[in-house]
């Protein structure tokens, strides 16, 4: 029989709560999130040497640092997230064949709870940093999507189909 799904951040009275992970076992947890940023041709033409160069500096390098900092602060930004000490956070940014900027954030740690929110936060803030650093060239920038691509180490692993 399938377990009934419920919102874990609500108690029996429907009030918000942090999930109690005290009885869970420590396992290796991983998560991969991705953001896709569409920019104008005017911005893409500044792509040189694996980065976009602006007067503010190299966009991708700055976005990697911002995304990593954000992933480490997820527990401070999202009210019911557990504060986690990440073992690893890597952010890779590249331009795909369709001239879209792809931001991939991978997080991992050994803990009682997962790192999906950290990976999603890292990818999102990196995408926002790209927007901020490129908006002087054009405001024709769209953060298309941020989505979880995979997670491992909890009750159920998840892998987005087609990836």
- Residues marked active site are found at 132
| CA 135 remoteness from chain centre | 21
Q: Nearest Cα to 94, choosing from 143, 137, 49?
A: 49
Residue 16 DSSP code: B
Residue 25 DSSP code: P
Tokens (6 digits) for 59: 């966009």
Q: What does the alpha-carbon distance between residue 135 and residue 51 come to, in Å, rounded to a whole number?
A: 16
């Amino acid at each position: 029989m399938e377990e009934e799904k419920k919102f874990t951040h609500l108690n029996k009275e429907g009030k918000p709560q942090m999930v109690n992970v005290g009885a869970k076992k420590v396992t290796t947890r991983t998560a991969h999130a991705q953001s896709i940023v569409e920019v104008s041709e005017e911005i893409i033409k500044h792509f040189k040497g694996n980065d976009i160069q602006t007067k503010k500096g190299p966009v991708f390098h700055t976005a990697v640092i911002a995304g990593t900092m954000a992933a480490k602060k997820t527990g401070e930004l999202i009210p019911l997230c557990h504060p986690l000490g990440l073992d690893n956070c890597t952010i890779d940014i590249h331009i795909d064949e369709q001239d879209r900027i792809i931001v991939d954030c991978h997080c991992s740690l050994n803990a009682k709870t997962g790192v999906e929110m950290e990976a999603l936060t890292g990818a999102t803030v990196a995408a926002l940093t790209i927007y901020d650093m490129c908006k002087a060239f054009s405001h024709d920038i769209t953060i298309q999507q941020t989505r979880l691509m995979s997670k491992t180490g909890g009750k159920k692993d998840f892998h987005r189909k087609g990836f």
